[in-house]
Structures are given as C-alpha cells and as structure tokens.
Structure 1
Amino acid sequence: MSKVVLITGASSGIGKSVATFLSEKGYKVYGTSRNPKNIENFSFELIALDVLKVETINAAVKLIIEKEGKLDVLVNNAGMGITGPIEDTPTDEMRVVFNTNLFGAIDVMKAVLPQMRKQKSGTIINVTSIAGYMGLPYRGLYSATKGALELVTEAVSMEVKNFGINVVNVAPGDFATNIAAGRYHTPVFENSAYKKNYQMNLDLMDAHVDGGMDPLEMAKGVYKVINSKKPKIHYKVGGFMEKFSIVLKRILPDRAYERLLMNHYKL
C-alpha cells in the first residue's frame, strides 16, 4: 500500500511542489487549502483546512483516516511571512504570524499524533526556514516563529520516539515562490526612523525570492526524508552560502557574525 501523506498549505509554492512530486511518486497525497473550491487543476486531492481553526484541522484528519484507514506522513508546510522593523510592526500582526507558523503547526501535529501512535509508525516533517537559525533585520518575527518551531520539533521528537514516530524539520532557504504576495508587510512609514533601510531591504528580500531555487528541490528533500530509515532531526535545503551562514554563526563571535549580517543587508 502506498503511504498516505497530508500536506498543509498545498495550493501554491513549496507545498504544491511537494504534493505534486509525491503524488507522481505514487503516494496518496491530501493537500490542504483554506478555500480548495476556488482552486483547479491539481494532480492530488485538495481538502479544506485552516491552521487557525482547530475544528477544520480535526475534520480534515478525520476525513483522511476514514477514507484511508491510516496516515503515514504529515508535512507541516502552511505558513506566512512578515516583514518590518520590530518597533513599527503592530503587535497584533505579530500574534497572527505566531498563531499560523507555530501554534497552527502544533495543532496539526496534535491532530495526527493519536493515529500515528495507534499505527506505531509515522513521520512528521515541519517546514521551518534557514531564517529560523538567526535573527534577520526586518524579518525578526518570521525568524522567531521558525526558530521556535525548530525547537518544538526537537522536543516532540523525543516525546514520541518510543511510539515509532519520527519528527524532523526541513529548513528551506530562498525559493522562487509567491510567498511575498502572502506576506504581511509593515508599511514603510514616512516618519519612520527605519524608512530608508527598511525599503532597501524589502527590495533585497523580493530579489532573493525571485532569484531563489526551484521548489522542486524542496520536494526532493522531503522525499528523501520520507524514505530514510533513520532520519536526522534537522535538514537544510538551500544555496551553499545560506547553509554556510549557519556554520558561521556557530564558530564566529556574536558581534563578528552580526557585522557580517549587517554588511550583507547594507546596514
């Protein structure tokens, strides 16, 4: 029997690429979207799920288990971006991003774990970000949500290991997706002390995404994890310098690393 896979946030970008790739490899894939009725031309089944609404999470998981009798893999991909100086960004918008990227992912894990325990098997893949390994200027809140999910992954991995469940994360770098369109942008306020540098970095972020890697590379990375008998906890999928930046943070003094980042972002 082919493995049954649930992928959140599969209507576009990385989630759609992963879902399409796994479907082509013979997996039974259920992708999710908040409004699947508005979307057409998919090679996998698309069902309704909003990570901010626990009742929709539970309903989606129940539907899959009733139809398939099992759930082998969760790819926790749904998320959103946020940019802005910490001082200028509304705290309520910060909470929305944490609720989506961290607590939403946790609620989906909570929903699938009882079935995976019953099966005594399962793989949970949390899609984080290389940005989660460091505090990036004007993306500090996004970095914080993904960094928090990395640590939650480490904790849950230990808690469920004796049930035969593997919990890992895959951290992408910059990929050519439409993430910028769904990102919350703090406005560049005319009277902001950060106006010049923030605008310059917004342009830089968009250029990085536009010139990013093909999302197919993330799909291949997820496929590798699913087929690994002893998966690691942390995987990174990105360019050499993106991955090397994590190594540099480990070995350089704090202020030296900060200077490198500030030079990169022209601060």
Structure 2
Amino acid sequence: MSDKVVLITGGSSGIGKAIGSYLKQKGYRVYGTTRSISAHPDFNDFPLLELDVREPKSIQTAIHRLLEKEGRVDVLINNAGVGITGPLEETPENAIMNAFDINFHGPLRMTKAVLPQMRKQKNGLIINITSIAGYMGLPYRGIYSASKGALELVSEALRMEVRSFGITVANLAPGDYATNIAAGRFHTAASKDSPYTTYADTLNALNDDVDQGGDPIEVAKSILKIIAHPSPKIHYKVGAFLQKTSVSLKRLLPQKVFEKMLLKHYKL
C-alpha cells in the first residue's frame, strides 16, 4: 500500500480512468484531470480536477489546487492524448497543430508545472504515456507517430537533466487497447475524390484494431510496476506480443524489409 499522491491527465475515461481506479485500489491518493468536470456528473472513481493541457493557466490553477489539498505530488502520469489519422497531404494544418499541442506540448507543460514541487520534495516520478506507434512511422498515422515519438525522445533528455534532483522520468508505450479513443480521434475525411484510395480501408482496420484491443487494466498494472520499482528504466512497452515485437523487428531488420512488412499489414 502507498499514500503517494498521483496526478493523471485525461483521467475521466479510457486508459487514464483504468490507471486511476487501479492505483486507488492499491492505496494511492489519486487525482485525475478532465477538460470539463460538468461533463462527468456521475464520476466518483477518484477526484477530478478541471484542466486542459493546452492552457497554461488551467494547468497552474489545477496544480495549485492539488498542492493546497495534498501539499505534494509524487507521481505525474501524462496520459491525456488525441488520435489523428489521414494522408499527410490532406490533413488540415490546424489538426496537426492541435495533435502536437495535446500529445507533445501538453506533457511538457505539465512537467514544467510539477518540477518545482518535485525538486522541493527531492523526489518524484514522471511517467509519459506514449505509444508503440511512436517507434515507427505508420501510414496515415504519421502525425500521431511523430507526436508520440517526439515525447519519447524528449523524455530521454529530461531524465538526465532532473536525475540529480531525485526525480525519475519513464515512458510507457501501449499498443492497441479497447477504449473510446477512436470516438475522439480526428480523422481526415476519406473523400471519394482523393488520390489516396487505400486510406478508407486503412482507417477501418485501425478502428477494428482498437475495438479488438486488450483490457486497459494491463496498462494500469504496468504503471504500478513502474511506480513500485526502486529504479525505473526509461522505456517500457505493453500490448499484444506482435505489437511489442514490431519495435524490436524495426531495429533488427533491414529498413526495406520492415517497410514491406508494414505495407503488407496495411494492404498498401
């Protein structure tokens, strides 16, 4: 059991809710965030703070309220994210910017907001929920892959920068899990006039992968192992065997061979 204070962005649904509920059962003092508390009137799994990772003032207000209540923050889990699909050529610029604002800049803003308190405590743990997609450029998911891949890399640098303060940074890259992420994803419309004729079929396949994904409790259990470990490493992965193995295959196989595997998988 632990009385550590855990803050989870995007905690009102999906993977974030699964993580929060599981950690609360294990004795952690859990707080989640959501952009609109009024949108979740019946949520009682754990306390929610209103917070939008795109808005610095919103972040500062929420962190201030948390510290007023608890006086500390031991673990930050940067989970809030947004999916985005579409041919790069046809994906609107504002959709690309929004995806990076939430998936990359959002975790950076959150990290900056908690670091002063963690330095004061002389300890803390920051876990970034990335994606196995962040290890490779996937067709029609290039923006999503890039935003998560960027978070993986910046975490490596941050980990070394804050090590001397007693703060640890780790990434957890999930594969596909059965959540509502597809419903909130931005997807470029599959136009009949588009030259990217394979996009519609690929989009359907992506949605099927999510619907057939694993139970988010697997992610929650992986998070607990990271928190409980005395010296967490930087990169963790959780998901179906083939999804996790694909990361190793990309590193081991010749580039063109791996590319052919992806083309075959997505029927391109």
Task: Indicate whether the TM-score tops 0.5.
Answer: yes
Query: Matches of 1:70 and 1:41 in 2, distance apart?
Result: 24
Cα shift at 1:43? 1.8
The 3-state SS of whatever aligns with 1:87 is helix
In structure 2, the residue matched to 1:213 is 214
The 3-state SS of whatever aligns with 1:80 is coil
Equivalent residue for 1:241? 242
In the TM superposition, residue 142 of structure 1 has moved relative to its aligned partner by 0.2
Q: CA deviation at 1:182?
A: 0.4
Partner of 1:23: 24
* 1:161 matched to 2:179: no
Structure 1 match to 2:54: 52
Q: 1:177 & 1:38 partners in 2: Cα distance? A: 18
Measured in 1, the distance between the counterparts of 2:36 and 2:91 equals 28
Task: Give the 5 Å matches for 1:64-103.
Answer: 64-103=66-105
The within-5 A match list for 1:57-206 is 57-195=59-197, 197-206=198-207
State the partner residue of 1:226. 227
Identity of aligned residues (%): 56
* Alpha-carbon distance, 1:63 to partner: 0.8
**What runs of 5+ residues in structure 1 fail to find an aligned partner?**
none
Task: Give distance in 2, aligned partners of 1:155 and 1:95.
Answer: 23
The offset of 1:189, in angstroms, is: 1.4
Which position in structure 1 is the counterpart of 2:253? Answer: 252
Deviation at 1:36, TM superposition (A): 1.1
| Distance in 1 (alpha carbons) for counterparts of 2:45 and 2:99 | 29
For 2:95, give the aligned amino acid: E
For each residue in 1:25-48, what CA deviation from the matched residue of structure 2 results, as whole angstroms up to 9, or x when unmatched? 111111000001221232210110
Do the aligned partners of 2:130 and 2:173 also contact (CA within 8 Å) in 1? yes
Q: Which runs of 4+ in 1 moved over 2 A?
A: none
TM-score (norm 2): 0.98
1:188 Cα deviation from its structure 2 partner: 0.7
Tell me how far 1:192 sits from its aligned partner: 0.6
- Write the letter of the residue equivalent to 2:242: M
Structure 2 CA distance for aligned equivalents of residues 20 and 252 of structure 1: 39
Distance 2:44 2:152 in 1: 30
Equivalent residue letter for 1:25: K
Alpha-carbon distance in 2 for matches of 1:202, 1:152: 29
Name the CA distance, whole Å, in 1 between partners of 2:92 and 2:192. Answer: 16
Give, in whole Å, the separation in 1 of the partners of 2:117 and 2:43: 30
For 2:12 and 2:201, the matched residues in 1 are separated by: 30
Q: Paired residues, what number? A: 266
Aligned-pair distance for 1:66? 1.2
Task: Using the TM superposition, give the Cα deviation of residue 226 of structure 1 relative to its aligned residue in structure 2, in angstroms.
Answer: 0.5
In 2, Cα distance between equivalents of 1:233 and 1:138: 28
Give the distance between the partners of 1:24 and 1:30, measured in 2 at CA. 13
Match of 2:266 in 1: 265
Q: Secondary structure at 1:166's aligned position in 2?
A: strand
- CA distance, structure 2, for counterparts of residue 264 and residue 21 of structure 1: 34
Question: In the alignment, residue 176 of structure 2 is paired with which amino acid?
Answer: D
